Structure 1
Amino acid sequence: MGPIPLEPIPLGPIPTARHPSDSMARVLSSQPGSHCPRVVQKEVQAGWGAALLLPLGIPAPTAGHPCSHRWASLLPWLGILAPIAGYPCSCRWASLLPSLGIPAPITGHPCSHHWASLLPPLAIPAPITGHPCSRCCAAGSTTLPPRTSEASTGLTFALCRSAGLGAGRAAQGWRTHAGGRRVLPAQYGLVFDAGSTHTALYIYRWPADKENGTGIVSQVEACTVSGPGISSYADNATGAGASLKPCLDKAMEIIPVEQQRETPTYLGATAGMRLLREQNSTKAEQVFAEVSKAIAEYPVDFRGAQVLMGNEEGSFGWITVNYLLETLVKFSFAEKWEHPRDTEVLGALDLGGASTQITFQPGVPIEDKNTSVFFRLYGTNYSLYTHSYLCYGQTQALKMLLAALHQGSLPAQQVSHPCYPKGYRENITTADLYDSPCVHAPGTASRAQTLTVTGTGDPAACSAAIQRLFNFSCGANTTCGFNGVYQPPVRGQFFAFSGLYHNLHFLNLTRGQSLSSVQAAIRQFCSSSWEKVQKEFPTEKRDHLRDTCAASSYTLTLLVQGYRFNHTTWLNIHFVRQVANIDVGWTLGYMLNLTNMIPSEIPQRVTGLKRSNWTAATVLLAIMLILIFSLLTVICCQKNPSGYEML
């Protein structure tokens, strides 16, 4: 096998991070004046990769060299698929890197993504919007000079044009075969996360021709809806529907028109709507009717709005975490989806505005079946512990804290708050304080009463007041979380997200610090005065600064005393916001479940002969028939000498 003939291409400096695709083709070969010198790596490091590259006239890459990934553009000709759009180090492609002794590509590196110029004609989805190589393809169809000057523009533009990619199609995920035949574009899905404090719309995308019912999902956009959560529109249901429209408009700009009616769209409401339904089911139904009406006005495949139960919210968050980490199903080097071997699943810890969830796979049988959930995903059984504590989300918990402080204050109109910075002062009404079913008003409280709340900045008193919100006695259960709810001992690694991440990330406490370090940092912050806090964070919102001590102290109490993490198991908690540029939460797991993207069983493959094998089989059958006919003729002639004439 000789080297692939390539036309000489003028060489210049390595592409910069600002324009990483301008000179993609230049790295295919090494020419005088190139910034990619021929450096052959030692055979012990290059492995069998050098055996593939050298016959093609490509020197083996050198680890750490700025042009070490130039060979990547030849991977398709070697029968190796390039990374899927948005996953530079994904799937079986990345599994070659260790064998070749090459570090994985780095996003934004000038030589990391030059392979993208070859994606469209090789039937590989074009890079997604925002990808370092997206803009050249998107601009190529409209800004290309005449074909005679394409060489100076770069091979990428020529390939984009030959693939027939328009300015929008590169970003929309059209796939084109080398012959120019267009096939199905990527598919999209929309999920509204209607939380207690706010609503967000997540726009997902995955390959339309996903194998075995699975697909690699990427998050295209996350649009935050203006205003509070939909449960806050109990007295103005039409406002709930109207609030969703700006994000729906944005989704329609992203999703191609021809695909919008095939886009599955869901709205899932969590603890805020669970509380409203308990408080006033009629108003809850009116809110759902209005949001459903608003979504139905758009050309999407709307599949309904529903309230998620607590165990569903926890379970879907667990699916999201383990799907993104490829512990449930993984696309192997053998080009098939399979369950990873010897891989431990992770637990999920979630803190919302009105509830908190814990979900994990315990090492012991689950004693309380009310806290047990069973999944069969891709042929593997998972028996999980999950529980959701309603009213113990951050917003409701801090309201319960303030109400408890009010009920213990003398005089009742003056409330000292140990979790607020010293010197902070504000006025609130009892109507605002006792407006939730989680907060029980005393019989003597007047709804029109005005309270003056003053911060004292006392971390010890703050921690003690928060702990009084919980009942840590297990009662009849041998092991428990809090409030007498059964919970087996925590086991394995955990991802903590949503409020748990944000509360500690603000204080830079999400980098794997020990429990002692986290406790000390929170105590130090809670001792700060209001004047000092405002000077250190001048651009931060007033409410956020006011609640930082209370929220971080609540997070610590919930995880340590509530969920029973200790100094050792604390190090197993990983505080995250995203994995692979996808927000961690229940929404992705919810969509994966409803679209059956992770089937319960491994789909049976229907095997068949290739066209070449069918041709060979047909010829062989014809030869066999001729031989059988000839044999019968010989036998007939031997029995009847005149048979030949008769025949």
Structure 2
Amino acid sequence: MLKQHLIAFVFVSCMPFLQTIYSQSLSSKLSNGVLLSNDASGKYAVIIDAGSTGSRVHVLHFDRNLDLVQIGQDFEFFEAIKPGLSSYADDPEAAAQSLKPLLEKAEAIVPKEFRANTPVKVGATAGLRLLKGDSSEKILQAVRDLLKNESSLKYKAEWVTILEGSQEAAYIWAAINYLLGTAGKKYSETVGTIDLGGGSVQMTYAVSKEVALKASKLSNGKETYIQEKNLLGTTYHLYAYSYLNYGLLAARAEILKVSRNSSHPCILYGYHGYYTYGDVAYRASAFPTGPNMKKCRAFVLKALKINAPCKHKKCTFNGVWNGGGGDGQKNLYVASFFYDRASQVGVIKTNVPSATARPLHFLSAAKRACRTKYKDIKSVFPNINESDRPFTCLDLVYEYSLLVNGFGLNPFKKITLVKKIKYKDSLLETAWPLGSAIDAVSSQN
């Protein structure tokens, strides 16, 4: 009995001490209110996505096997601010300083002993590219100065850049293959990707070393279509090409141009208006009898420049080399506006992270859309945004034609429309910052 009282006395006496130890232990794992992982090993990466409307920071933690480790309840720490860097066109210093809050929060997440070896990369997109003169370069230099002088993270000048379309394409490819578990395997076991953005569309897939050595060159005669990428200890030769002006929003303008400011066979019956892209307004008026599928397809193919001269063995469209094909293109994951339109018109269910479909399904949806009057389109496709409704027929005809005539896919080929991929017990976005982080930590091995 005396022994039990003694144990109880010791325990009660030590409670304040134990609470202090627990509190110190917990506070050492808390940063910005985020409970950090118990595993402080492995590697971290900090990626800042400097978009046109705002800037976003992503902090990712990888273990020794380069598997993602949770930060708090998620597999990344994420924070966003507005406006974007391009809003500071006349004040580069202010542009750089706008990133400082994101940088400070990211540094607080990374344990102090890891910061010197944690890469911080800044990828700017369309907003900066559109600035006039040398404004964009001045902003980038100010950001480099900020990272060099005021950050404890690992910094290289070349890690602060405006992303080329082919770079973004390669990063999306890396992200998708990483999440699927095919990264690190031989090239023939990886999947290819098509990403349909607003201004451009990217095709990326891995090819054999033999194909890479014989790869066609770009129109400048110096660079090839192939880039080399090390991912999880495996070297890949990637065909990664970005078709500028063939993203969905840009393509609308290209397709409307074909009609030379007269009535257009892809516009829904009853709609008469304009479509503005790049500060240029294009007439978008329906035929008196409504859309004509045959003529609409002809206009789309003309905009794609399917019959442009091909200086290579085989081209996709607009005279671009197709990469040679092969096993790396056998399974395709198709993202962004392809996924969005498919989920909005019933090709796949809404809100599913991914689903399989065939290019032919886009044609079926296009036929249904093109038969629908503009006044009825909301009731037939309620999930389409109001500003997109007049172009529902045009968008779907374009997406089908891009896949089949542009990229040469069989109309019956199974493709995977993807927005998120399951990783462990979570669903992760297939966005380029994840691919950039994987590329950064892979190159450190």
CA distance in 1 between partners of 2:394 and 2:42 (Å): 45
C-alpha displacement at 1:423, in angstroms? 2.7
Separation of aligned partners in 1, 2:305 and 2:145: 43
Structure 2 counterpart of 1:301: 153
SS at 1:423 equivalent: coil
Structure 1 position 424 matched with structure 2 position 271:
yes
Give the secondary-structure state (helix, strand or coil) at the position aligned to 1:591.
Answer: helix
- How far apart are the structure 1 equivalents of 2:97 and 2:374? 34
Check the 8 A contact 2:362/2:396 in 1, yes or no: no
- Choose which of 462, 475, 482 in structure 1 pairs with 2:296: 462
- The answer on whether the counterparts of 2:61 and 2:76 sit within 8 Å (CA) in structure 1 is no
Q: Against the structure 1 CA distance between its residues 397 and 187, is the aligned structure 2 distance closer, same or farther, given a 3 Å change threshold?
A: same
Query: Higher strand fraction: Structure 1 or Structure 2?
Result: 2
Q: 1:479 to 1:245 in 2, by over 3 A?
A: same
Q: Please state how far the C-alpha of 1:298 moved relative to its aligned partner.
A: 7.9
Pick one of 391, 414, 417 that aligns with 1:575.
Answer: 417
Q: Residue 445 of structure 1 aligns with which residue?
A: none
Residues 19-98 of structure 1 aligned to structure 2 (within 5 Å): none
Q: Which residue of 1 aligns with 2:318?
A: 483
Secondary structure at the aligned position of 2:136 is classed as helix
> Do residues 211 (structure 1) and 42 (structure 2) align?
no
Aligned 1:177-188 pairs, distance under 5 A: 184=40
Deviations 1:11-55 (A, max 9, x none): xxxxxxxxxxxxxxxxxxxxxxxxxxxxxxxxxxxxxxxxxxxxx
Q: Secondary structure at the match of 1:582?
A: strand
> Which one has a bigger Cα radius of gyration?
1
Alignment of 1:123-162 (within 5 A): none
8 Å CA contact retained: 1:498, 1:584:
no
Match of 1:349 among 175, 194, 202: 194
User: Which deviations, in whole Å up to 9, do the C-alpha atoms of 1:75-121 show, x marking residues without a partner?
Assistant: xxxxxxxxxxxxxxxxxxxxxxxxxxxxxxxxxxxxxxxxxxxxxxx
Report how many residues are paired: 391
- What is the one-letter code of the residue matched to 1:252? K
Q: Which runs of 5+ in 2 are unaligned?
A: 1-10, 13-18, 218-223, 349-354
CA 1:398–1:584 in 2, change beyond 3 Å: closer, same or farther?
same
Asked if 1 retains the 8 angstrom alpha-carbon contact of 2:268 and 2:374, the reply is yes
Distance 1:526 1:247 in 2: 49
> Does residue 592 of the first structure (1) align with residue 432 of the second (2)?
no
Identify the residue that residue 409 of structure 2 maps to in structure 1: 565
Shift of 1:171: 4.5
Give the one of 350, 361, 378 matched to 1:534: 378
Question: Could you state the TM-score of these two structures normalised by the residue count of structure 2?
Answer: 0.71
- 1:254 shift after superposition: 10
Match of 1:288 in 2: 140
Letter in 1 for 2:58: I
Structure 1, unaligned runs of 5 or more: 1-146, 149-157, 176-182, 330-339, 410-414, 435-450, 604-647
Indicate the residue corresponding to 1:192 in structure 2: 48
Tell me, yes or no, if the aligned pair for 1:198 and 1:225 is still in contact at 8 Å.
no
Q: Is the 8 A contact 1:272 1:354 kept in 2?
A: no
2:225 maps to what in 1? Answer: 371
Residue type of the partner of 2:26? L
Shifted more, 371-380 versus 485-494: the winner is: 371-380
Report the 3-state secondary structure (helix = DSSP H, G, I; strand = E; otherwise coil) of the residue aligned with 1:358: strand
Q: Distance in 2 between matches of 1:230 and 1:544?
A: 28
Describe the SS at the equivalent of 1:203. Answer: strand
Matches of 2:37 and 2:89, distance apart in 1 = 45
Q: CA deviation at 1:215?
A: 3.9
Deviation at 1:507, TM superposition (A): 1.9
Partner of 1:403 in structure 2? 257
User: Cα distance 1:401–1:230, how it changes in 2: closer, same or farther (>3 A)?
Assistant: farther
2-structure distance, mates of 1:575, 1:417: 29
Q: 1:314 aligns with which of 162, 169, 172?
A: 169
Paired AA for residue 288 in structure 1 = L
**Structure 2: distance between partners of 1:272 and 1:354:** 12
Q: Is 1:433 the counterpart of 2:296 in the alignment?
A: no
Is the alpha carbon distance of 1:576 and 1:236 closer, same or farther for their aligned partners in structure 2, counting shifts above 3 Å? farther
Contact 2:40/2:111 (8 A) holds in 1 = no
TM-score (norm 1): 0.51
Which SS does the other structure have where 1:165 is aligned? helix
Distance verdict in 2 for CA 1:238–1:553, change over 3 Å: farther
Deviation at 1:372, TM superposition (A): 1.9
